[in-house]
Amino acid sequence: MRLSKYFWQTYKETPADAEIASHKLLMRTGMIHKIGAGLYSYLPMGVRVIRKIENIIREELNNIDSNELTMNFVTPAQLWKDSGRWDQMGSEMQRFSDQKDNEYCLSPTNEETITDIFRKSVNSYKQLPVSLYQITTKYRNEIRPRYGLMRGKEFSMKDAYTFSLDKACMDEQYEYFYKAYSNIFKRMNLDFIIVEADGGNIASGDSQTHEFQVLAQSGEDVVVFSKESGYAANIEKANTKRAELAFLPEEAISEVETKNLPTCEEVAKLLNLPIHQTLKTLVFSAFWGEKSANYMIMLLGDDELNEVKLKNFLKADRIEVAKESVLKEIGAIAGYMSPYKLEGKYSVLLDASIDPTKSYIVGANKEHFHLKGFTPKRDIENYKSADLRMAKEGDLDPSGKVVSFAKGIEVGHIFQLGDKYSKAMGATVLDQNGKKIAPLMGCYGIGVTRTLAAAIEQCHDDDGIIWPYPIAPFQIHIAAMYKDPEFKKECDALYDKLTKEGYEVLYDDRGLGMGAMMKDADLLGLPIRVFIGERDFKNSGEVEIKVRKTGEKTKCSLTDLTANLTKIVESLS
Ligand code: ATP
Ligand code: MG
């Protein structure tokens, strides 16, 4: 592509709302254009990368016999009513009506449509398994669209769905996607980790779900892993344990004055005890439809509550920090509370790392006082123990290895749905015995535009992007420095030569000054730059090759260029 004929332009200024590198660089390299919060047009340079990402995805999914289709951006409300999700989905789903008051939504995902297609076209186990995918625009009214393409309102997603006769077949399909996803992100040369994810309470307890996380400092997710054991989980899900702790042996209850010392840290310091010998109590309200209940949750003093675990444990639709009125009702006093001899209506949950036979320091339900000797097994009547804490650095994984933490960007998510949608929407097939069964589903997403942002997030430096070779918009950037129109013909010939050799070449033939041209080349960050300068070339017959990733420069004649490029490409791809 000759830049003189290409719609492309770079920008010096960073947009005011751009906080992270990928957002800044996508804007500065003229790959995207903002038209509103979370709404971006993809410009020609951006589209080239998106197509490459899509093609890698297509090839790998076609390899596992998944079939491409295209479902609708607009879905009638009825399908969502059939699945029961019309009322469950929050404001993220954009609903609207036409002039005849028919209701619709802008598809945030497509379980409903795919299940409708399935129920109207498949009726025998002989047609199973079914595996379908699409790469389309999705719309979600994200409350806080941010970070450019990372969290948009309108974005491109690959979503795939499988239907299987039984659990073994659902597992097999899941395995296919797991492997295909691994290949996809490997082929993009991205540094990623596959983690166990939180499945919420969508499917049954033993259903699998994994996230594919691209590692990057700006990631919104925290991943917990051990290289030694291979353990890896999203922090929302991580079931790591604390290393061995020494607790206080059971002792009688006694009051201690802790004037203006409401936190566990302060109390532990005052009593000269390790903080894990204190317990913190939190009060939460949980909701199931119209029903609700209150919980006093106890954690070791230096642990934090993992709200996702709490919500899942209670199988609640929603949980929230208890309101002031609830605390009053229970008789709890913020900073000094515990479930010790409280009258109100609540249930007690202990985090699993608390040994209920040991003694702890807890709030006395009286301002400026705590209790020593609180022993759950002896001092509270009913409680349940569950893993409710947030994993921490220094924890041990289930095999006893110390875990590390890293930041990740969720680019893909695979999920076993079981019969949730097939059952709700009456999608059935006849099995080998002529019995009607609801097939088991899986769903599998990749954020296409988020992957573009994540790649830049992982691969850039102060000067600009450093494209991974397989998804670079072009592979070679020819920077041509010329004055003499006759010499320009040499540059054109170089462009023709490399293009004929099969490279995707961006040819800067705009006649810019050296500084501006090189700045643009570094900013855009194509893997290889070939510089052809009038003076040097006329003197020595040589061009200069620069590898963007390493900064390494070499000079060579046109005759040696092909061999040199082949070597460099091998090292990059
Ligand atoms: P998140 O937790 O980041 O909101 P999600 O759980 O809502 O993601 P899914 O419904 O599993 O995401 O969607 C599949 C994939 O689509 C995600 O793994 C992510 O890569 C991408 N994705 C989701 N929401 C957005 C968004 N607002 N903008 C860009 N990509 C998104
Ligand atoms: Mg989301």
Q: What's 99-157 look like in SS3?
A: CCCCEEEECCCCHHHHHHHHHHHCCEHHHCCEEEEEEEEEECCCCCCECCCCECCEEEE
- Going edge to edge, which strands form the sheet with 254-257? 254-257, 369-374, 360-363
DSSP helix/strand/coil, 400: coil
**Per-residue confidence (pLDDT) for residue 246, from 0 to 100:** 95
Question: Quick one: three-class SS letters along 30-99?
Answer: CCEEEEECCEEEECHHHHHHHHHHHHHHHHHHHHCCCEECCCCCEEEHHHHHHHCCCCCCCCCCCEEECC
Ligand having the closest approach to the CA of 144: 1
> Per residue in 458-503, pLDDT tens?
999 999 999 999 999 999 999 999 999 999 999 999 999 999 999 9
Q: Name beta bridge partners: 133.
A: 68, 160
Q: Is the dihedral of CA 242, 246, 249, 254 positive or negative?
A: negative
CA of 161 to the centre of ligand 2 (A): 18
CA of 140 to the centre of ligand 2 (A): 8
- For a mutational test of ligand 1's pocket, the pick from 413, 443, 451, i.e. the residue with the most ligand atoms closer than 8 A to its C-beta, is 413
**Per-residue confidence (pLDDT) for residue 523, from 0 to 100:** 98
CA of 36 to the centre of ligand 1 (A): 19
> Per residue in 399-432, pLDDT tens?
999 999 999 999 999 999 999 999 999 999 999 9
Give the atom of ligand 1 at the shortest distance from the alpha carbon of 108. Answer: 10
CA atoms within 13 Å, Cβ hemisphere of 108: 17
Ligand having the closest approach to the CA of 213: 1
221 Cβ inside 6 Å of ligand 1 = no
Structure tokens at 508: 């800067």
Q: What are phi and psi of 337, to 5 degrees?
A: -105, 160
CA of 410 to the centre of ligand 1 (A): 7
171 Cβ inside 6 Å of ligand 1 = no
> Alpha-carbon distance 133 to 180, whole Å?
13
Q: What are phi and psi of 206, to 5 degrees?
A: -95, 15
Q: Write out residues in the chain with pLDDT < 70, as ranges.
A: 201-205
C-alpha 320, offset from chain centre: 24
Strand 429-430 to strand 553-557: parallel, antiparallel, or no bridges (unpaired)? unpaired
Burial of 315 (0-12, 13-18, 19+ CB in 10 A): exposed
410 Cβ inside 6 Å of ligand 1 = yes
CA dihedral 316, 323, 87, 425 (to 10 degrees): 0
CA of 182 to the centre of ligand 2 (A): 22
**Per-residue confidence (pLDDT) for residue 204, from 0 to 100:** 58
**8 Å CB contact between 495 and 505:** yes
> Alpha-carbon distance 47 to 41, whole Å?
9
**Per-residue confidence (pLDDT) for residue 199, from 0 to 100:** 83
Structure tokens at 481: 């420095």
The DSSP code for 484 is S
